[in-house]
Amino acid sequence: MTTIDVTPKPLLSRGMVAVTSAQFFSAFGDSALFFATLGILIQEKYPLWSHSTLQMLFIVAYVALAPFVGQIADSFSKGRVMMFANAIKLLGAAIIIGGLDPFVGYTLVGIGATAYSPAKYGILGEITHGDQLVKANGLIESSTLAAILVGSLMGGWLVDISPYFALAMCCVVYAAAVISNCYIPRLKAARPGARWNLVEMIKRFATACKVLWQDDETRMSLVGTSLFWGAGITLRFLLILWVPIALHMEGLLTPTLLNAMVAVGIVIGAAAAAKWITLKTVNRCIPAGILLGIGVVCFILQESYVLSYVILMLVGVFGGFFIVPLNTLLQDRGKQTVGAGNAVAVQNFGENTSMLLMLGLYTLAVKAGMPVVVIGCIFGSLLALSIGGLWIVQLMKKKKIA
């Protein structure tokens, strides 16, 4: 008679420690590399428009490759996919530090990040189970945001000394990520038998999109996470315009520190979500999303240096509490329906399309000469109203079911 081992497994298993370490190094490298590559563009006197183009190339890779990376994550051992993706990032950083085209190198890093993401989130459902999945997501999000915080500050500091010092550090941390990936247990592929026909892969991706968007809860997750990340990248650029006007401070140091406070808040919010929210109580996170939008409006209307840090940390707390349960829900439902890798690929497609759209609208508003305070108020209000509408829809559907 076969017995099933139901002994609770510790969250910080060897595999989870390896995944978390690899994620920290990988996200650290991504954050520092942006500033390092930007430093190269400034040093080489590239035109100003090239700076935003650099960011767009990174995001476009996510959108263009979304139909394929989910199947890649589900067709191979996810730990090996993560290792290969980090190796591509390392190659991209090496191309830039080698004096070759920085746009080619940074695009390669974007491709590596695109392949890495479905495997990173998909593997959590394979090495943890049940409510541990929420805690694992909280750990990964906390690790990611801590890496973004430290990587941004280290990258910004080293770029002032030499962009090439910053690039060298990026190569080292990407190599550390590859080594960490080697310690992830070699798990079986989730869906090893899928055919590698491009047309069929696009059709399968479209089918996965349809399945996830037709389900009420996964649709809520997709909309929520897309709004969150679109808001996050827009806030980063909004701060660069807002600081000189409201705080009368020039340079990028203050906007970088304010962004860092958002990251600190997200780590706290992610930890709180991991403690207080389970898969059965995911809807509790939605009010935090509404408060996120309200917080942006409150922030943009005040001009206090100290209060700016406090409000942005609270914005981050609301954001972390909002995003972690939605990620967990999508991974759990995706694993049961289209495969965790495919689910995250659909999520990445939505999130990065949202980022491109919001950045595009932000750019149009700036070009039209709209004051930054007006842009921020409209942006925060629309975010709060959108998430509020999402909540109302969920409550109405819950009443119908009852």
- Residues 5-59: pLDDT tens digits? 444 555 666 777 888 888 889 888 888 888 788 778 878 877 756 766 777 788 8
- Residues 148-204: pLDDT tens digits? 878 877 877 787 788 888 899 999 999 998 898 888 777 666 566 666 677 877 887
Rg of the chain's alpha carbons, rounded to an integer?
21
In the predicted structure, residue 83 carries a pLDDT above the cut 90: no
In the predicted structure, residue 401 carries a pLDDT above the cut 70: no
DSSP 370: -
Mean per-residue pLDDT of the chain: 80
Token readout for 119 is: 């495997």
Residue that the structure tokens 């842009």 belong to? 375
Note the pLDDT of residue 307.
92
In the predicted structure, residue 323 carries a pLDDT above the cut 70: yes
Distances (CA, A) of 71 to 116, 195, 256, 305, 346: 12, 9, 36, 47, 11
Q: What stretch of H or E contains 298?
A: helix 286-301
Token readout for 205 is: 């991706």
- Residues 222-261: pLDDT tens digits? 888 888 888 888 887 788 788 888 888 876 677 778 888 8
Give the whole-angstrom CA distance, residue 354 versus residue 253: 27
The distance from CA 3 to its chain's CA centroid, rounded to whole angstroms, is 40
Note the pLDDT of residue 3.
40
Furthest C-alpha separation in the chain: 74
- 318 pLDDT band, cuts 50/70/90, is very high
Q: Give 363-369 contacts, CB < 8 A, sequence gap 24+.
A: 363/52, 366/241
User: What ranges make up the beta strands (E) of 117-276?
Assistant: none
Which among 89, 81, 85, 113 is positioned nearest to 186, based on CA atoms? 81
Higher pLDDT, 332 or 285: 285
Burial 146-160 (b: 16+ CB within 10 A, else e): bbbbbbbbbbbebbe
Q: Any idea what the Cα angle at residue 86 is, between residues 81 and 90, rounded to 5°?
A: 150
Q: Assign 3-class secondary structure to 299-328.
A: HHHCCCHHHHHHHHHHHHHHHHHHHHHHHH
Give the whole-angstrom CA distance, residue 145 versus residue 143: 6
**pTM value surpassing 0.85:** no
The distance from CA 176 to its chain's CA centroid, rounded to whole angstroms, is 20
Residue that the structure tokens 């829809």 belong to? 393
Domain-wise residue ranges, the chain: 14-401
Token readout for 172 is: 């080292």
- Residues 104-119: pLDDT tens digits? 889 899 888 888 877 7
Which among 273, 270, 262, 271 is positioned nearest to 232, based on CA atoms? 262
Q: Which of 66-75, 89-98, 155-164, 195-204 has the highest mean pLDDT?
A: 89-98
DSSP 15-49: HHHHHHHHHHHHHHHHHHHHHHHHHHHHHTT--TH
DSSP 284: G
If one looks up domain 14-401 in CATH, what number appears? 1.20.1250.20
Sign of CA dihedral 278, 281, 282, 284: negative
Note the pLDDT of residue 76.
72
Note the pLDDT of residue 5.
41
Note the pLDDT of residue 173.
92
